[in-house]
Amino acid sequence: MDNPEIAAVFEELAELLEFRGENPFRIRAYQNGARAIRDLDEPIREIAQDPDRDLSKLSGIGKTLAEKIGVLLETGSLPQLIELRKAVPEVVIAMARIPGLGAKKAAKLHEELELNSLDDLAAACREGKVSAIKGFAKKTEAAILDGLAIAKAASERIYWVTADKIVADLSEHMRDCKTISQMQWAGSYRRRRETVGDLDLLAVASDRDAAMDHLESYPGRASTIVRGDTKISIRVAKSFQVDMRLVDAEQFGAALQYFTGSQAHNIHVRRLAKERGLKINEYGVFRLDDDTRVAGATEEDVYASIDLPVIAPELREDRHEFEWAERNELPDLIKLDQIRGDLHMHTSATDGHNTIREMADAAIERGLKYIAITDHSKRVSVAGGLDGDRLLEQWKIIDDVRDEYADRLMIYKGIECDILEAGGMDLPDDVLAQGDWVLASVHFGQKQPRDQITDRILGAIENSHVDCIAHPTGRLINRREPYAVDMDAVMKAAKKHGKFLELNANPARLDLNDVHLAAAKRLEIPIVINTDAHNIDGLDVMRFGILQARRGGLTAGDVANTLDLKAFEKLRKRLAK
């Protein structure tokens, strides 16, 4: 089992225990352990097998979880979880999440109607079977059907880019509210997580009722969930929740720090405060002995009270940020304007929509100094992938076009070459040898066993003509899970053979994820952030790759395509030795 699989076991264990009303401290221990394991940038199996390391000493693990991890690594399952699954069916938990239903009613419905899915529940409501049960009524059936639709939509986290569009629209609307003097978005949106579950807006307003009225006047509001003295929650786009909290100016910085999160980061902050005789909450920083306010108006003051500089929101996951901050070594995170090249894009020769010249002109408009044209190879027949002859013809065209752009842009002759299902590259070596930049990628055979997919990618890395592995785990966020691959083995091979790994900036991919990026940084593997653009507008997704890189703690020095052309070529030659 790998880290995500082990973390998923503890997450499910915590959820089942919580449903049964078990000890909250025990539940939190499993939740913390799951997060700690998921955030590790090295395989937990290697730590467990290292005689010089003690798994129980890792932050968030402890003796009990270390023992269970040992069982999972040895057997692949956990008896405790198997028993809990029998006691609490998954469908009961899903029903309990429906607004207004709750655990007791969900359990009763499951017992009475022997439901196996939410679809079964919806059918039972439509057929009047729910209202026939004592304690339920017709209006309950209607509420359940409404709640099912809301619960299904609300449980789906949306892409950060989708949330960003909502934020931009709402921000423009709220700026017209004259009573608001300060305003900032918080939560997972501010931490730039790849998906967002809801939005948190903090504001300081001289007239709180007027500020809430203004939010309710937002044209995109579908409904108001709740409205109180200091908080209002609305739904936009039918189901997505937006919370606005009204705070005093002296509380704003503390509230911003608190509601930005993450929970694990905030727990660490509060522990550091306690060591200094302080307490930190959403209202401010206070002395423990006499409750005197110390800080709270700004985030700078909040962090300064625990002797730390402000930590970038993207890093606030309780991974390495505190040790970096305490050593005054917080990374100078990469910025969009530091990118000099884009080494993955498609043209109308395959499934792109623009010509080589059009992509080159668009790249120049965005300040780039070099690009690689990387159309698909022949295995991707649905995209009109290039065979050897067509690819060489395209490369001849690029040779001619290069002269036109010589003083403005370097255009590399590239290809996104498929790694075949049986292993090996989709194009022969004598063709690949004539190119400047070869991406290797897996598009087919993604359900093969872990060892087989890993071996395919390792074979590509060992090919002397391959420069970089594109979108290395193949995931599509919210649509397709990563294929089973030993990323630790892939990274070690990339390091050994001097290959680049891609961070694909498409917001539906963001592949590598932030934990993988942190591992690549630790191993000093050069990352290239590419757009995988299929038209000129696609070049603008570079921004989302930058945000993902920041969450991985990457600086410009960790990303190869921040280098100017001369330095980039020098790096390539050094890696090729």
Higher per-residue pLDDT: 156 or 560: 560
- At what angle are helices 487-497 and 514-523 packed, to 10 degrees? 40
- Residue 515 pLDDT exceeds 80: yes
Q: Is 219 helix (H, G, I), strand (E, B) or coil?
A: coil
Task: Report which of 259, 260, 247, 256 is spatially closest to residue 203, judged by C-alpha positions.
Answer: 247
**Among the listed residues 117, 100, 110, the one whose alpha carbon sits nearest the alpha carbon of residue 133:** 110
- pLDDT of res. 153: 56
pLDDT for the residue 441: 98
Rounded to whole angstroms, the Cα distance separating 121 from 141 reads 10
What secondary structure letter does DSSP report for 267?
A: H
pLDDT digits (tens, 9 = 90+) for 310-369: 999 999 999 999 999 999 999 999 999 999 999 999 999 999 999 999 999 999 999 999
Mean pLDDT across the stretch 6-11?
87
State yes or no: pLDDT of 155 exceeds 60. no
Do the Cβ atoms of 236 and 279 come closer than 8 Å? no
> Letter for the amino acid at 266?
N
Residue 460: which of 436, 426, 511, 505 has the closest Cα? Answer: 426
Rg (CA), the chain: 26
CATH 3.20.20.140: which residues of the chain? Answer: 336-576
281-305 mean pLDDT: 97
For residue 346, what pLDDT is reported?
Answer: 97
Class of domain 90-154: mainly alpha
Q: What is the mean pLDDT of residues 480-494?
A: 94
517: tokens are 């990026």
Name the one residue in this structure whose structure tokens are 């949330």. Answer: 163
- Residues 286, 301: Cα–Cα separation, whole Å: 12
Output the 3-class SS for 302-352. Answer: HHHCCCCCCCCHHHCCCCCHHHHHHCCCCCCECCHHHCCEECCECCCCCCC
Q: How far is residue 472's CA from residue 470's CA, in Å, rounded to a whole number?
A: 5
> What's the rounded mean pLDDT across residues 4-20?
84
> CATH 3.30.210.10 spans which residues of the chain?
263-326
Share of the chain above pLDDT 70, in %: 98
Whole-structure pTM value: 0.81
Q: What is the pLDDT of residue 204?
A: 98
Residue 105: pLDDT above 80? Answer: yes
**Residue 525, pLDDT above cutoff 90:** yes
Looking at residue 252, its pLDDT comes to 98
Report residue 294 as tokens.
Answer: 């110390």
Q: Is 322 left (phi over 0), alpha (psi -120 to 50) or beta?
A: alpha
Count how many residues are written for the chain: 577
How many helices and strands in the chain, by DSSP H and E? 24, 17
Cα gap 322→304, rounded to integer Å: 13
Among 11-25, 120-134, 244-258, 402-416, name the one with the lowest average pLDDT: 11-25
| CB-based contact 169:200 (threshold 8 Å) | no
Q: Is 234 exposed, middle or buried (0-12, 13-18, 19+ CB in 10 A)?
A: buried
What pLDDT is stored for residue 222 in this prediction?
86
Structure tokens at 172: 């423009």
3-class DSSP assignment, residue 512: coil
Average pLDDT, the chain: 92
Residue 309 has pLDDT above 80, yes or no: yes
Which residues are 223's β-sheet partners? 235
Considering the chain, tell me which residue range(s) the CATH 3.30.460.10 domain(s) occupy. Answer: 158-246
Domain at 263-326: CATH architecture: 2-Layer Sandwich (3.30)
Please tell me which residue, 390 or 2, carries the higher pLDDT value.
390
Angle formed at CA 342 by CA 336 and CA 345, multiple of 5 degrees: 130
Q: Considering the chain, what percentage of its residues have pLDDT values greater than 90?
A: 71
Annotation: CATH topology of 3-87: DNA polymerase; domain 1 (1.10.150)
Angle at 339 between CA 335 and CA 340, to 5 degrees: 160
Q: According to the model, what pLDDT value does residue 21 have? A: 75
3-class DSSP state of 220:
coil
Q: Which region among 3-17, 364-378, 430-444 has the lowest average model confidence (pLDDT)? A: 3-17
Helix (H, G, I), strand (E, B) or coil at 270: helix
Has residue 135 got a pLDDT over 90?
no
E strand intervals along 21-146: none
- pLDDT value for 452: 98
Identify the band that residue 281 occupies on the pLDDT scale cut at 50, 70 and 90.
Answer: very high
CATH number belonging to domain 336-576? 3.20.20.140
**What band does 150 get if pLDDT is binned at 50, 70 and 90?**
low
- Return all residues near 407 (Cβ < 8 A) that are at least 6 apart: none
Question: Going by DSSP bridges, is the β-strand pair 370-373/527-530 parallel, antiparallel, or unpaired?
Answer: unpaired
Q: What does the pLDDT average to over 74-99?
A: 82
Give the position of tokens 């700690």.
36
* In the chain, ranges of CATH 1.10.150.110 domains: 3-87
Mean pLDDT of the 456-473 span: 98
Distances (CA, A) of 304 to 165, 270, 273, 312, 502: 33, 13, 11, 14, 37
Mean pLDDT of 264-273: 96
State the DSSP H helix or E strand holding residue 173, giving kind and residue range, or none if neither. helix 160-174
Identify the H or E element spanning 440: strand 437-441
Lowest-confidence pick of 19-33, 109-123, 142-156, 454-468:
142-156
| Fold annotation for 158-246 | Beta Polymerase; domain 2 (3.30.460)
